[in-house]
Amino acid sequence: MREEHNQEAQESGQLPKKSRREMSRRQFLSYTLGGTGAFMVGVPLIFNLRFAVDPLLQKKQGTDYVKVAKVEEISEVPQAFKFTVHQVDGWYESEPTMEAWISSDQEGNIFALSPVCKHLGCTVNWNGSGDYPEQYFCPCHGAHYTKDGEALAIAPAPLDQYEVKVENGWVYLGAIHANERV
Ligand code: FES
């Protein structure tokens, strides 16, 4: 039937209708060159993108435990200890100096508090004011805290606490977190 129709069309000088859409040579070349170009640009782009963001996908380092003090140095009176940690954040590596107030409680449990005041971030000192003996005191606006870090005035929260690990006679400090003693 279709052949008859095409034959009629040829006889009448018309071009036969195409039975289905066929790709022209120009379209074929466009698709082929376009696809090849996209592949050549896309593959290196994906690898470079992966390389660029890879450090951001890595777990931040610097939260491991650090050896800070000998157990025999620790008493019930808080003492300040300084130590450095190795931090890797993306492409940036640093070794900031940290500080901790370390002491033991009446049961002999060792704990360590951050010296960063929870008001506006100044540094607290044990027995820092004659008005507040046996307490941490912040010289900036007068916040003071108990030995466990409980805020008694000005500051809205207790002093943060370090993770503590005791091993082979040494005190190791880990990540800082919210105070769990008060
Ligand atoms: S920063 Fe410590 S009291 Fe304000």
pLDDT tens-digit series, residues 77-129: 999 999 999 888 888 899 999 999 999 999 999 999 999 999 999 999 999 99
CA distance 84 to 93: 13
Residues 89 and 155 in one domain: yes
Domain check: are 143 and 82 in the same one?
yes
pLDDT band at 135 (very low <50, low <70, confident <90, very high): very high
- Point out the domain boundary residue: 57, 74, 99: 57
Pocket around ligand 1: residues whose beta carbon is below 6 Å from it? Answer: 117, 119-122, 138, 140-143, 154
Instruction: Answer for the pair 137, 144: CB distance below 8 angstroms, yes or no.
Output: yes
At 45 the pLDDT is 67
H or E segment to which residue 39 belongs: helix 25-57
Q: Indicate which CATH number applies to the domain containing 150.
A: 2.102.10.10
Ligand 1 atom at shortest distance from the alpha carbon of 121: 1
> Average pLDDT of 58-78?
84
Q: What is the pLDDT of residue 1?
A: 47
Residue 91: closest CA among 46, 47, 53, 49: 53
pLDDT at 10: 52
Confidence of residue 24 (pLDDT cuts 50, 70, 90): confident
**180 DSSP assignment:** -
Strands across the sheet with 136-137, in order? 125-126, 136-137, 144-145, 151-153
Centre of ligand 1 from the C-alpha of residue 172, in Å? 28
Question: Is the same domain home to 111 and 48?
Answer: no
Whether residue 78 sits in one domain with residue 7: no
The mean predicted confidence, pLDDT, of the chain is 84
**145-170: pLDDT as tens digits:** 999 999 999 999 999 999 999 999 99
Task: Give the residue whose CA is nearest to atom 3 of ligand 1.
Answer: 141
71 and 131 inside one domain: yes
Range of 39's domain? 2-57
Q: How far, in Å, is the centroid of ligand 1 from the Cα of 144?
A: 9
Q: 131 C-alpha to center of ligand 1: Å? A: 16
Are 139 and 169 in the same domain?
Answer: yes
Residue 182 within a domain: no
| Number of domains making up the chain | 2
Do residues 159 and 141 both lie within one domain? yes
